[in-house]
Amino acid sequence: MTTTLIHPLTALIEGVRTAVTKHANWSDTADLVSDQLRLHLPRPEDILTAEQRDGSPESYRSHTLHVEPDGSFSIIGLVWRPGQITRIHDHVTWCVFGVLQGVEHEELFDADLRLLGESDNKVGDVSGFAPPGDIHRVHNTTDTTAISLHIYGTDVTRIGSSVRRYYD
């Protein structure tokens, strides 16, 4: 008997592909993709090697897991060691993320960089957003490694990053 192995992201990729082909506005697309990520949230060990899950002491690490051939979306795994943080930034397109391990603390800002709110995103939490109104910073505030899966509405390998600009 032959067993066919299915990649752990196959169902997620198909679901995101279906959501993106609806050609909704960015905010609605982020909602549709969020629904797919909630349905198909993988385990860290199914998508990242043990070495990748260790992260790096220098900075959080990103791992490209899938880029849609037409460039319409990318799926990236992010690994955050304790204390690692992003700069305040916004994005070039819609973004959806889900926490696979640990906790990611997120701060949301307005255009004048006033803090609008903050949340601790835990395992299983999924969130999506789209510009404008996507200025934020992410921080691992715990003493364990956090891992999240991010889906961006572009080919991040082609443009180099999902970040549109950083704020000081």
Q: Tens digit of pLDDT for each residue in 97-146?
A: 999 999 999 999 999 999 999 999 999 999 998 888 789 999 999 999 99
Indicate whether 13 belongs to any domain: no
From CA 129, how far away is CA 22, in angstroms rounded?
Answer: 17
Indicate whether 110 belongs to any domain: yes
From CA 138, how far away is CA 55, in angstroms rounded?
Answer: 16
Indicate whether 81 belongs to any domain: yes
Entry pTM? 0.91
> What pLDDT does 4 receive?
53
Q: What angle do CA 96, 102, 105 make, to 5 degrees?
A: 60
Indicate whether 14 belongs to any domain: no
> What pLDDT does 6 receive?
65
> What pLDDT does 52 receive?
96
- ω before 132 within 30° of 0 (cis)? yes
| In the predicted structure, residue 2 carries a pLDDT above the cut 60 | no
Indicate whether 158 belongs to any domain: yes
Q: How many residues appear in the chain? A: 168
The tally of domains found in the chain comes to: 1
The residue whose two tokens read 């906790």 is: 103
For 67-81, the pLDDT digits (tens) are 999 999 999 999 999
Domain CATH number, residue 103 = 2.60.120.10
**Which residue range forms the structural domain that includes residue 80?**
28-167
The pLDDT confidence band at residue 12, using thresholds 50, 70 and 90, is very high
Indicate whether 163 belongs to any domain: yes
Indicate whether 155 belongs to any domain: yes
Indicate whether 135 belongs to any domain: yes
For the record, the structure tokens of 44 come out as 């860290």
